[in-house]
A and B are shown apart, each in its own frame.
Chain A
């Protein structure tokens, strides 16, 4: 997983075109996010050749998250050519299976 932040978000996510980019928006206080993390790492092992995996700590990059219209955690977004292709808001995520369903589309 590549840790993205306000300095490298543009290069690693928005301007990256080789393959879809998955971004796991999480935060220091988000227990659900932390519980999901090991499963997200497993998904990277499975889908990493097709999709680039990134994580973004919103606690340290709040403005960037809000600019990406993220206002709840966990939020999972897949970008294709810098555009949002799929968004999973917190209510749509009850387990890693929901994230895998989204990733299967790419």
Chain B
């Protein structure tokens, strides 16, 4: 444990797992540190039908489990720990975690992002009590019950469609009068008899005794307030990057994302970023995996130049 790794990857989602695979295949010593679940946000996705080749058994958990196994076979080490602080000021970078300290020649930050809150009253109090951010985790609870989905993007509509397999009805509440989701998803949603839409509306409060019983909804066009009875609400209104541990150590964008160049380099030598945590236009499993591969190769080049002269 006191040894110095070639690469420490912070975060065990598709970006981190892909970086692990590429790093280990190049015979580098690689440690992946993950605080929660390996697979990251992808494990909360029911069907990854847009990842090339994932035709059979393409659930998020299955695909990322295979990614992890593949990296492991080439020698990537994995540890469950939470990063408290980092020291990137020397050639050997240090990562202080809850249960120990780790050192490496290079760091790849692949911490990803987490769901943004819906911003309505009693949201946090009823989180895990009807308010959810993960349809695959909680959907089967709502068999035969009524649920709502907040949002109009790809993930909101994908999850709304998934929820129809369980719930009696799925009400999509969206602040605009049209969806942002891919056309093919929109078509599926509009044709699904279990899905209905509440347009131009925002949720202002969750109500219920200990568990969710209804939502208070405001029409942003008319100002009209109404109440919708639901047992569950799934919030998909965007993401926030997980970068608080790196504040002050590397440059962050206004939104807290990490800017990099084409080779995933941050402003600090030897520190790279990959996946959803990065400033980028498309946050998908495929782009995260690509970032991870590029970051690992760039890290290897850096090590060769800096340490193996």
In the assembled complex, which residues on chain A have CB atoms less than 8 Å from the CB atom of B37? Answer: 31-32, 35
B35 closest partner in A (C-beta): A94
Supply 21 A–B pairs (Cβ within 8 Å), ascending by A. Answer: A27-B140, A28-B140, A29-B139, A32-B36, A35-B38, A62-B141, A62-B143, A66-B141, A66-B211, A71-B138, A71-B231, A72-B127, A72-B129, A72-B132, A75-B128, A90-B128, A92-B128, A94-B36, A95-B36, A95-B80, A95-B82
Among B80, B140, B210, point to the contact of A29 (Cβ < 8 A).
B140
Q: Which 5 A-B pairs have the closest CB atoms?
A: A89-B128, A72-B128, A90-B128, A69-B210, A71-B130
In the assembled complex, which residues on chain B have CB atoms less than 8 Å from the CB atom of A59? Answer: 140
Question: Among residues 67 to 106 in chain A, which have CB atoms less than 8 Å away from a CB atom of chain B?
Answer: 69-73, 75, 89-92, 94-95, 97
In the assembled complex, which residues on chain A have CB atoms less than 8 Å from the CB atom of B129? Answer: 69-72, 89
In the assembled complex, which residues on chain A have CB atoms less than 8 Å from the CB atom of B259? Answer: none
> Known pairs A73-B141, A95-B82. 9 more at Cβ < 8 A?
A28-B140, A58-B141, A72-B130, A72-B132, A72-B137, A90-B132, A91-B124, A95-B35, A95-B36
| Residue A23 CB within 8 A of the other chain | no
| Residue B212 CB within 8 A of the other chain | yes
Contact A90 B140 (CB under 8 A): no
Q: Which residue numbers of B lie inside 8 Å of A, CB to CB?
A: 35-39, 43, 61, 80, 82, 98, 124, 127-132, 134, 136-141, 143, 210-212, 231-232
In the assembled complex, which residues on chain A have CB atoms less than 8 Å from the CB atom of B130? Answer: 71-72
| Residue A30 CB within 8 A of the other chain | yes
Count of CB-CB pairs between chains A and B under 8 Å: 77
| Residue A21 CB within 8 A of the other chain | no
In the assembled complex, which residues on chain A have CB atoms less than 8 Å from the CB atom of B134? Answer: 90
* Closest-CB distance, B230 to chain A (whole angstroms): 11
In the assembled complex, which residues on chain A have CB atoms less than 8 Å from the CB atom of B231? Answer: 71
Chain A interface size range:
20 to 34
Distance A66 CA – B231 CA, assembled complex (angstroms): 10
Distance A30 CA – B140 CA, assembled complex (angstroms): 10
Give the most central of A35, A66, A70, A72: most B CB within 10 Å: A72
Distance A82 CA – B239 CA, assembled complex (angstroms): 39
Contact B82 A29 (CB under 8 A): no
In the assembled complex, which residues on chain A have CB atoms less than 8 Å from the CB atom of B124? Answer: 91
Contact A89 B127 (CB under 8 A): yes
Give the most central of A29, A71, A89, A97: most B CB within 10 Å: A71
In the assembled complex, which residues on chain A have CB atoms less than 8 Å from the CB atom of B80? Answer: 95
In the assembled complex, which residues on chain A have CB atoms less than 8 Å from the CB atom of B210? Answer: 69
In the assembled complex, which residues on chain A have CB atoms less than 8 Å from the CB atom of B141? Answer: 27, 58, 62, 65-66, 71-73
B128 closest partner in A (C-beta): A89
